[in-house]
Amino acid sequence: MNLIEKVLAKASGKREVTPGEIVVADVDCLLLHDLSGYLTSKVFEQEVKRPMRYPDRVVMVFDHHFSPPTEEQARVLEENRAFARRHGTHLFDCGSGNIHHVGVQGGFVRPGRVIVGSDSHTPVHGTLGCFAAGLGNNSHAGMVMPFGKAWFRVPETNRIELSGRHRPGVTPRDAALWLTAQIGEGGAVYRALHFAGPYIDELGVWDRWLFPLITIDVGAKCGFIDPDDKTVSFVSRITSAPFEALRSDSASEASATWSYDISDLEPQVAASPTVGNVTPVAALAGRDIQWAELGGHGGGRLEDIRQAAKILRGRRVADGVKFNLVPSSRQAFAQACREGLVEELFRAGCTWFPPSTGSNQAINMGAMAATEAMVSTQARNFPGRNGSPDARMYLASAYTVAASAVRGKLTDPREFLAGVS
């Protein structure tokens, strides 16, 4: 069996599971953000009407409406707080960070666990060797909350074998954007994606994170990376809670193996209308942008903040560009403070926002007019998601975002990185 088959077998009390089989498994952690938490709480209290069986496994994080702009959204948060108090669940209030980073930094995500959530990027937790899948409100309210369980169809697994080394100025996010287009939106529907190979082995945990993050956009159910020494020491530094780092048997076979070499890759950008619309930045260089942002489920990491600082050293954000920085967690912000990056980027013209998911949907960092465009490390660029359906959204690496903020136009960052190590 591979890693996720082992996790699902253990969680459903079986010796073995096979692809196609439907199992009912114990869930270790349910991650909810303010919006999914609200919708789930209504179904749970109005339709299910049973007690919460394991409140300690339910974690709510206010990261989408981290600064509610309307009375209605403020009310949503108040109702969520009352729900968390009523049932005794965990609650991380506004300013705690992005839901998935809080899940990791809070020690809830550990190898071998079953993690579910309404946020569609929940599969990112396969990075740490979990079986992690997004489910809908009715699964959470109808089975996870009252019974601590969920039903799953055991997925077939595709192995994604990655090799090669980046050229200078190219980052794991460029590789992940490119890979999204290679596999294609809906190119791996219902599959589990096993990310492996020398390229993945070399990456740090927060860079590995960018790969299971894309599984939703290619239609996969989950993605995972077999835990190694890096994973175990990463988790052990965060929590003393026990975990079992299950790994795939070497004999476990994938339904298919897709191999990619990233050695020749250039900086990439995904342009609206969809995340699979990926081209080299060079092909779109010169397009105007008014907004730039580090943030989102995969952005606002310390790695992103450091990249932006490297580009902005000795430079300034262009007039008319708003470059917003959204740390993924309080821990990332604290480390950026220690490294002097917070002041440095502020002086270069950037604006810091609270640790959260940032402008993911036009909820709390403003909307865009039809004539405007944004380049960001966010995970989504669907029309209308951040204001006008005609506003353009480009997804790129922190290097590209920062370089574009300096020019006020989409910019290949390599011209700023010559001679910088």
| Binding-residue pattern over the window 28 to 47 for other proteins, x denoting contact by CB under 8 A | -------xx-xx---x---x
Which residue stretch of 107-115, 318-326, 377-385, 405-413 sits at the interface with other proteins (rule: CB under 8 A)? Answer: 377-385
Provide the 8-state DSSP code for 340.
T
Q: Which of 67, 138, 163, 290 binds other proteins (CB under 8 A)?
A: 138
Nearer to other proteins, 217 or 412 (CB): 217
DSSP at 144:
I
Could you tell me the smallest distance in angstroms from the CB atom of residue 383 to other proteins?
8
- 135 binds other proteins, rule: CB under 8 A: yes
Strands ordered across the beta sheet of 114-117 = 90-92, 58-61, 29-33, 114-117, 131-134
> Does residue number 80 form part of the binding site for other proteins (CB under 8 A)?
no
Element (H, E) at 328: none
Q: How far apart are CA 397 and CA 377, in angstroms?
A: 6
Shortest approach of other proteins to residue 406 CB, angstroms? Answer: 31
Chain positions 379 to 408 lying near other proteins, rule: CB under 8 A, are 380, 382-385, 389
Task: Indicate which single residue of 55, 81, 94, 146 sits in contact with other proteins (rule: CB under 8 A).
Answer: 146
Which of left, alpha, beta for 246 (phi over 0: left; psi -120 to 50: alpha)? beta
CA dihedral 221, 222, 223, 226 (to 10 degrees): -140
The helix/strand/coil state of 92 is strand
Q: Does 164 bind other proteins (CB under 8 A)?
A: no
Sign of CA dihedral 171, 239, 84, 112: positive
Given 67, 93, 95, 120, the residue binding other proteins (CB under 8 A): 120
48 binds other proteins (CB under 8 A): yes
Residue from the set 63, 217, 372, 412 that interacts with other proteins by CB under 8 A: 217
Residue 14 binds to other proteins (criterion: CB under 8 A): yes
DSSP state of 46: I
Contacts of 302 (CB under 8 A, 6+ apart): 206, 332, 335, 336
The stretch near other proteins (CB under 8 A) out of 95-103, 301-309, 356-364, 370-378 is: 356-364
The residue behind tokens 């990249």 is 307
For the bound state, the minimum distance from the C-beta of residue 241 to other proteins, rounded and expressed in Å, comes to: 25
Q: Is 256 an interacting residue with respect to other proteins (CB under 8 A)?
A: no
CB 176 within 8 A of CB 210: yes
* Cα 265 to Cα 375: distance, rounded to the nearest angstrom: 20
Q: Report the distance separating Cα 304 and Cα 202, nearest Å.
A: 18
**Residues making contact with other proteins (CB under 8 A):** 12-14, 18, 20-24, 35-36, 38-39, 43, 47-48, 72-73, 76, 118-120, 134-139, 141-143, 146-147, 149, 151-153, 155, 185-186, 189-190, 216-217, 219-221, 274, 276, 361-363, 380, 382-385, 389
